[in-house]
Amino acid sequence: MKRELPHDLGAERALIASLILNQNTFDKITDLKISEEDFYDKRIGAIFKAIYEIILLNRPVDYVTVSSMLSDLNKLEFIGGNYFLTSIVDDHMTDVNVYGYAMIVKEKSTLRNIIETTIQIANDGYEHEGHVKEFISNCESKFFKLTNQSKVNKSKSLKELVKMNLKTLEGNSRAPGEVEGLSTGYPALDKYLLGLRSGQLIIIGARPGMGKSALALNLAVNSVEQSGLPAIIFTLEMQCDELSMRILSSMSKVDGKKIKTKNFGPHDLSNISKAASKMANMPIFIDDTSAINLMEITSICRKKKAEEGLGIVVIDYLQLMGVNKSVPREQQISEISRGLKAMAKDLGIPVIALSQLNRVAETTNKSFDKGGSSSKRPTSSNLRESGAIEQDADAILLIYRDDYYNKEHSKEPGVAEIIITKNRGGDTGTVKLGWVGAVTSFENLKWEGK
């Protein structure tokens, strides 16, 4: 005998009656992200859809307007006419417990989705012929969508989006000029990027020794200090204790060589102790699994997001990730960059991926500095396997340091150029930051912006 799926028709009817009696109650339940699909009785779901459409139009909600909207949507006959609508309103004369009704509706809907998902997974398990890891990742993805209740997994009309835009503009949560996403910690960079925003894939490219790992670490640490949300750093080149030592050097401002040789100055140990105490309370997680692949990274990030929340992910670096070696290299990188962008969108976080540059960046670039001398400043085309990376990235930051190539005669020693060659959220351009190689840290310049 087939069992009935979980539902509560009384709560569904009570919720609809509450919304019709007092349209202001709708604002109380918006955080639950209830949709037409959450109702077991499809007729009641159709009424909810009509109420939702009326509210989007900023019109009053009552028996007459709901009936009219149902007629416009060709759903009045489907629900059984005005008699069915009247019976719902007449049964409930109060909106006091609207949030409680909405919670019941949402919870029953979630239970139905879980049951249907587990049945689907069981059926897929009987028929699966590929790698078990792929099947597990598939299962995790399906359950993550169920647990991530704040995510809306459907397209939105422009009408809905414009209303969201206007609410954002009307809000006073941000001061004029304040960045939308997580601050990079560098005001000059924030002016271009407007912060590190959810859903973004940000590529940092540079030749070896330019400081791309250091910049990514600085951005991750700055974001955690600002938001308090966890960061995960996947380091495919260095060991995790080596990377944490870099963070310790950067935060304590103690020369990395002194830390390695234990040749400390009078105040170094005190500075290290303060930095270590601060680091111990920062939710930064480092994974140094060699050749970790996209599926494994996505799985780890999903779990962290579900358990503790997640603010930012750093991958150092893209070309070292595990891949399917049976396909051409360009296709491998294309799958990785597309997958990282998808992960950023699904998890609602910025993802920073580091990328190598071709050697050609140092030999064939024909740009010139202000003095007329040839320059080795990189461009987006210097990214290894650049086609897919350029297409999927929301922002591309390339690092150039003149003193790296002109140690004796550099016009700007200790200065790094962050060249923004792509920026979906704003302008491209160049930002100058201080580079303190001894502590592998980028710093704001005092004369910045003057």
Q: Which amino acids are annotated catalytic?
A: 237
Q: Which of 383, 390, 345 is nearest to 200 (CA)?
A: 345
Q: Scanning the structure block, which residue is given the tokens 């893209």?
A: 318
Q: Which of 226, 134, 139 is nearest to 179 (CA)?
A: 226
Q: CA-CA distance, 388 to 195, in Å (whole number)?
A: 24
Segment 429-434 long-range contacts (CB within 8 Å, at least 24 positions apart): 429/192, 431/186, 431/188, 431/189, 431/192, 432/188, 433/186, 433/188, 433/189
Tokens of 61: 């909600």
Q: Which of 316, 308, 293, 310 is nearest to 347 (CA)?
A: 310
Q: CA-CA distance, 186 to 377, in Å (whole number)?
A: 21
Q: CA-CA distance, 230 to 302, in Å (whole number)?
A: 12
Q: CA-CA distance, 334 to 342, in Å (whole number)?
A: 12
Q: CA-CA distance, 407 to 437, in Å (whole number)?
A: 13
Which residues, listed in sequence order, are joined to residue 315 by a DSSP beta bridge?
234, 353
Q: Exposed e or buried b for every residue in 115-141, given b needs 16+ CB within 10 A?
A: eeeeeeeeeeeeeeeeeeeeeebbbbe
Tokens of 340: 């990282």
Residues 6+ positions from 114 with CB-CB distance below 8 Å: 146
- Look at strands 284-287 and 231-235 and give their pairing: parallel
